């Protein structure tokens, strides 16, 4: 059973409808102390990072998520803002200390680029595998990356993550590549919205959540 964290922020409704379409069993968890019973967690997107961190701190979710992530059998999926939450800190809406489960920097998407580059990335983009990750031990992940390579996914964000050794899929925005999917052990962050990306979402549901 998948636990969808519901701290009153994020597009929880869209994510739960996606899970329904994919025939995955889930519960909306509003109480942090209930979270410890679950091994698969989803952190939803759509909010500003500062606002989301405050809501999760206030409801006691932050420390429980860190505890669950220590379990080798657990799996965490962070979507868009949920992905940013998995890094050590972010600056959207003010500096916020985050979960520190993934390695990388969250920066404004147009930072350091020409003024002809938009400040937000809204729309469909092609995602591309980072070939280093094809040596990945996890056969499941390797297969997922292979299937997602060159697929189109829906992005809607104004902050993005630089590519690091944990990036398995990337996308191009302006003159730079950014991380589209970031994985470390049992934590996966996806910058796009799998719940709105059709086949891409189904593949993530199959390989990461259902563990086909």
Partner 1 sequence: VLMRWIVKILIKGKSAYQSVGFSDYIYLGCALNVCRTVSEMFPDEIALYFLDRNIDLKFTSKLIGYIDSPCSVSWCWGRNLNDVDKIYGTGVERLIFNLGSAYTADAINAISNRYGLSSCVLQINVYRKSGTLEVLKSRHHPNTSNVDLHRFLLGDSAFSSLVDNAGECIFQSVDAEGAFGDVDKQMIELVGQKYAFQTPFVFSGGFSEDTAAALDCEYHPMLNGIASSAMHFFSNFTLNGMRIDIKSVARS
Q: What is the DSSP letter of 30?
A: -
CA distances from 15 to 21, 24, 156, 159 (A): 10, 11, 15, 20
What does the per-residue mask of binding to partner 1 show for 69-98, with x meaning CB under 8 A?
A: ------------x----------xx-----
Give the integer Cα–Cα distance in Å for 124 and 192: 9
Q: Is 143 exposed, middle or buried (0-12, 13-18, 19+ CB in 10 A)?
A: middle
The verdict on 179 binding partner 1 (CB under 8 A) reads: no
The verdict on 112 binding partner 1 (CB under 8 A) reads: no
What angle separates helix 61-70 from helix 49-58, to the nearest 10 degrees? 90
Give the integer Cα–Cα distance in Å for 22 and 168: 23
What does the per-residue mask of binding to partner 1 show for 7-46, with x meaning CB under 8 A?
A: ----xxxx--x---x------------------------x
Under rule CB under 8 A, which residues in 158-177 are in contact with partner 1? 158
Closest to partner 1 by CB, 114 or 139: 114
Closest to partner 1 by CB, 135 or 175: 175
Closest to partner 1 by CB, 48 or 186: 48
The verdict on 196 binding partner 1 (CB under 8 A) reads: yes
Q: Which of 123, 131, 150, 212 binds partner 1 (CB under 8 A)?
A: 123
Strand segments, DSSP code E, in the chain are 2-5, 26-29, 40-43, 75-79, 89-90, 96-97, 106-108, 121-126, 128-129, 152-157, 159-161, 167-173, 176-184, 187-190
Closest to partner 1 by CB, 17 or 97: 17
Active site members: 80, 193, 195
Which positions lie near partner 1, rule CB under 8 A? 11-14, 17, 21, 46-48, 50-51, 81, 92-93, 110, 115-126, 152, 154, 156-158, 193, 196, 198
């Amino acid at each position: 059973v998948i636990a969808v964290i519901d701290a009153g922020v994020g597009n929880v409704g869209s994510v739960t409808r996606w899970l329904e379409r994919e025939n995955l069993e889930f519960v909306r968890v509003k109480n942090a102390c209930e979270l410890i019973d679950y091994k698969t967690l989803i952190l939803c997107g759509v909010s500003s990072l500062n606002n989301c961190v405050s809501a999760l701190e206030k409801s006691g979710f932050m420390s429980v998520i860190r505890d669950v992530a220590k379990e080798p059998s657990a799996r965490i999926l962070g979507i868009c803002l949920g992905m940013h939450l998995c890094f050590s800190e972010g600056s959207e809406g003010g500096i916020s200390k985050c979960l520190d489960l993934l390695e990388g920097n969250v920066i404004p998407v147009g930072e350091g680029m020409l003024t002809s580059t938009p400040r937000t990335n809204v729309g469909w983009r092609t995602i591309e595998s980072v070939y280093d990750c094809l040596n990945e031990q996890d056969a499941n992940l390797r297969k997922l990356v292979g299937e997602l390579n060159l697929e189109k996914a829906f992005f809607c964000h104004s902050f993005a993550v630089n590519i690091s050794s944990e990036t398995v899929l990337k996308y191009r925005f302006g003159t730079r590549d950014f991380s589209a999917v970031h994985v470390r052990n049992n934590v996966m962050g996806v910058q796009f919205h799998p719940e709105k990306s059709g086949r891409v979402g189904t593949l993530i549901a199959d390989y990461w959540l259902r563990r086909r």
